[in-house]
Amino acid sequence: TKSLMRANNLTAVYAADSGQDVPAVDNVTLELPEGQILGLAGESGCGKTTLGTALAMIANPPLYVVAGTLEIDGNEINLSTLPKNANQVHRPYRGETVSLLPQGAMNAISPTLRIRDLVVDVMRAHNGSVTKADALDRASDRLKMLEMPTRVLDSYAHQLSGGMKQRMVTVISTLLNPALLIADEPTSALDVSSQKALIEMLLAMVEAKIMRGVIFITHDLPVLSMVTDRLAIMYAGKVVETGRTEDLVNNARHPYTAALLSSVLDPTEDTRTKHVLGIPGSPPNLGNPPSGCRFHPRCKFAMDVCSTTEPKMLSEGDHDFACWWAKEHPRETIPMEVTHA
Ligand code: SF4
């Protein structure tokens, strides 16, 4: 399959007052094939939101992209030009090529604006010559296509349910038909039926080629395992395993992926209550990460080499992982039952 997006060796840091930069995303390479939904998962603080933000070319201080290129929809962009004036440099790509739906966007809608004014603002911010009528036509067509009531355009945010508000901000973030939508925790504040409605809408939008790829960021692995074609698992600023969702879920090759999955995906239990189990130990401080494999202090499979030398990314077909244990055990699935004490 042709790739829609490929990020190469992306590193993004938070400049700390102490003068020491904290790398929140460390040398990440990631690819999204055309027409697919990629899930980005990991515990909170693993860098998934930062990676999504950098891929959307929105790096505002204290976040700086210090290295990396982004190939997207035929463009190649040097992301390390982001520091000085990201907003000017990459503006032409924003909205049309990549659109970011940030975490909590539905709560950020101004209470004094009607949804229709928001639609007009968003379209005009991108193209000053768009008329009000054209902007609203585009929005109503989109809503009809998605089988949503067009009367929501006349509402204020507080008049809409959480689920409807979230679907509206999602529609608005795709009004310019971006090649890629990056959605950060779009379902996490919603009840189960609103989650379902949002997911169905996203799938319908991909099907209709409104956008040609989605990066879906969430800690909610049960949701990701239902929706995505591919998964990328992040730990402490690094992508540690990527592949087809089916392969990762059924044949995890990295102990962290297996631990993450076994903490949430037990078919015999209510997956939602299992979130609280988590993985023993805590994610490391990104300012001072463990040597070698960053997961080694929490890993049940750790060997001597793990604490001294960082494992390189290996491939088995379409499935990539960075782990010394997996290197020594070709094609062997990590046994989930031993990932927890
Ligand atoms: Fe565990 Fe070593 Fe693999 Fe890291 S490299 S996940 S410590 S076995």
Could you read off the pLDDT of 308-333 as tens digits, one per residue? 999 999 999 999 999 999 999 998 98
Categorize the per-residue pLDDT at 59 as very low, low, confident or very high, splitting at 50, 70 and 90.
confident
How many residues appear in the chain?
341
Instruction: Answer yes or no: is 289 within a domain.
Output: yes
Q: Whose CA is nearest to atom 3 of ligand 1?
A: 323
Is 323 inside a domain boundary? yes
200-215 CB burial, b ≥16 within 10 A, e <16 = ebbeebbeeebbbbbb
Q: Which of 253, 256, 293 to mutate to test the pocket of ligand 1 (most atoms within 8 A of CB)?
A: 293
10: left (phi over 0), alpha (psi -120 to 50) or beta: beta
Per-residue confidence band for 339, with pLDDT thresholds at 50, 70 and 90 = low
- Cα three-residue angle 112-125-101, rounded to 5 degrees: 75
264 in a domain, yes or no? yes
Domain count for the chain: 1
**Averaging pLDDT over each range in 56-65, 80-89, 162-171, which range is the top one?**
162-171
Burial 47-71 (b: 16+ CB within 10 A, else e): bbbbbbbbbbbbbeeebbbbbbebe
CB 303: neighbour CB atoms within 10 A? 14
Domain that holds residue 260: 254-341
Lowest mean pLDDT among 68-72, 90-94, 170-174: 90-94
Q: Is residue 284 part of a domain?
A: yes
Q: pLDDT-derived band of residue 275, with 50, 70 and 90 as boundaries?
A: very low
Dihedral angle sign, alpha carbons of residues 316, 320, 321, 324: positive
Domain annotation covers residue 328: yes
Q: How far is the CA of 326 from the centre of ligand 1 (A)?
A: 8
Residue closest via CA to ligand 1's atom 5 equals 323
Q: Which residues line ligand 1 (CB under 6 A)?
A: 254-256, 293, 295-296, 299, 301-303, 306, 311, 323-325
Distance 335 CA to ligand 1 centre (A): 14
More confident residue, 3 or 262: 3
3-class DSSP assignment, residue 308: helix
Measured in angstroms, how far is the CA atom of residue 309 from the centroid of ligand 1?
10
Considering the domain boundaries, does residue 263 fall inside one? Answer: yes
Would you call 297 exposed, middle or buried from its count of C-beta atoms within 10 A (0-12, 13-18, 19+)? middle
pLDDT at res. 338: 57
**What ipTM was estimated for this complex?**
1.00
Question: Is pLDDT of 180 > 90?
Answer: yes
- Is 217 inside any structural domain? no
Phi, psi of 203 (to 5 degrees): -65, -40
* 320, part of any domain: yes
State the pLDDT at residue 320. Answer: 98
The whole-chain average pLDDT of the chain stands at 89
Q: Tell me the Cα Rg of the chain.
A: 20
